[in-house]
């Protein structure tokens, strides 16, 4: 069957990566979590002491970029792709709240975006990829055959993120999680470069009341119709 590019954009914690992973696994496609890349840059800047008390000089972060090498490896046990920063598996570290609190500002830096977007385009050059993020359908792969724009009610998104963090042993209140989501949505939609917007040809998927299975079914149907029209 013809391989296509699937771009999934949307607000924080609305289930993009869950759906993207399920789709990639069903189709035998690669899955790339572009947010994880911005999280790695943020983690590295925190480790190097360049971000202190939520503030930093852009030039200090840009200076670190050449020392950041990102790779992804499929873990057959978790059945998902894991992110490595300079050879170290940082899948857990990049989900910490301190990273979430700083990542939107780091991802707004021009040079950071240039480097990450170049990696993303390289990963997707042979198609057969599902990538999620904020600017995948609008900027990284504007010619993607299928673009989804995901959204869900803020309290539902907060509860999902809260449950995920709690299950990983991170103790943080519901309200803290909610404020971080609202803050990041605002930053991500209002930044100058490649803000989160719905691509004109994206299909909106509000999954507030949909199970994972229903979402997958909905998208698989879209893909089947699309690929049938190619073949």
How would you write 95-151 as a 3-class SS string? HCHHHHHHHHHHHCCHHHHHHHHHHHHHHCCCCCEEEEECCHHHHHCCCCCEEEEEE
Q: Residue 229 CB, nearest distance to ligand DC (Å)? A: 28
Q: Return d(Cα 3, Cα 201) in angstroms, integer.
A: 19
Phi and psi for 51 in degrees, rounded to 5? Answer: -100, 120
Q: Which is nearer to ligand DC, 48 or 110 (CB)?
A: 110
- Among all chains, which residue has been given the structure tokens 């570290």? 93
* Interaction mask 1-20, ligand DC, x per CB under 6 A: -----------x--------
* Interaction mask 37-56, ligand DC, x per CB under 6 A: -xx-----------------
Q: Residue 143 CB, nearest distance to ligand DC (Å)? A: 16
Q: Residue 94 CB, nearest distance to ligand DC (Å)? A: 8
Q: Which is nearer to ligand DC, 187 or 227 (CB)?
A: 187
CB 208 within 8 A of CB 160: no
CB 136 within 8 A of CB 142: no
Q: Residue 50 CB, nearest distance to ligand DC (Å)? A: 17
**Token duo for residue 198:** 């719905």
Which listed residue (21, 115, 134, 178) binds ligand DC by CB under 6 A?
134
**Token duo for residue 85:** 């920063």
Q: Residue 158 CB, nearest distance to ligand DC (Å)? A: 13
Q: Return d(Cα 149, Cα 157) in angstroms, integer.
A: 15
* Interaction mask 168-197, ligand DC, x per CB under 6 A: ----------------x---x---------
Q: Which is nearer to ligand DC, 155 or 217 (CB)?
A: 155
Q: Which is nearer to ligand DC, 81 or 104 (CB)?
A: 104
CB 26 within 8 A of CB 220: yes
Phi and psi for 86 in degrees, rounded to 5? Answer: 45, 45
Q: Residue 135 CB, nearest distance to ligand DC (Å)? A: 5
Q: Considering only CA atoms, which of 196, 156, 154, 150 is closest in space to residue 179?
A: 154
Contact region with ligand DC (CB under 6 A), list: 46-54, 134-142, 146-154, 171-179: 134-142
Contact set for ligand DC, span 54-113 (CB under 6 A): 103-104, 107
- Among all chains, which residue has been given the structure tokens 């229903």? 214
Q: Which residues bind ligand DC (CB under 6 A)?
A: 12, 34-35, 38-39, 103-104, 107, 133-136, 184, 188
């Amino acid at each position: 069957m013809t391989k296509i590019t699937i771009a999934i954009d949307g607000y924080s914690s609305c289930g993009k990566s869950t759906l993207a992973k399920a789709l990639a696994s069903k189709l035998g496609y690669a899955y790339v979590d572009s947010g994880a890349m911005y999280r790695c840059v943020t983690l590295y800047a925190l480790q190097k002491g360049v971000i202190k008390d939520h503030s930093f000089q852009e030039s200090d972060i840009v200076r670190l970029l050449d020392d950041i090498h990102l790779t992804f490896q499929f873990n057959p046990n978790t059945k998902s792709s894991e992110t490595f920063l300079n050879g170290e598996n940082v899948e857990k570290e990049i989900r910490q709240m301190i990273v979430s609190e700083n990542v939107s500002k780091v991802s707004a830096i021009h040079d950071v975006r240039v480097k990450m977007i170049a990696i993303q385009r390289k990963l997707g050059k042979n198609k057969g990829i599902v990538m999620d993020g904020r600017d995948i359908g609008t900027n990284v792969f504007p010619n993607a055959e299928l673009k989804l724009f995901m959204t869900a009610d803020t309290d539902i998104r907060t509860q999902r993120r809260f449950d995920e963090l709690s299950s990983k042993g991170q103790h943080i209140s519901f309200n803290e999680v909610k404020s971080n989501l609202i803050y990041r949505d605002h930053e991500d939609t209002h930044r100058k470069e490649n803000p989160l917007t719905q691509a004109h040809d994206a299909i909106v998927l509000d999954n507030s009341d949909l199970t994972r299975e229903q979402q997958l079914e909905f998208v698989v149907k879209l893909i089947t119709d699309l690929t049938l029209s190619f073949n």
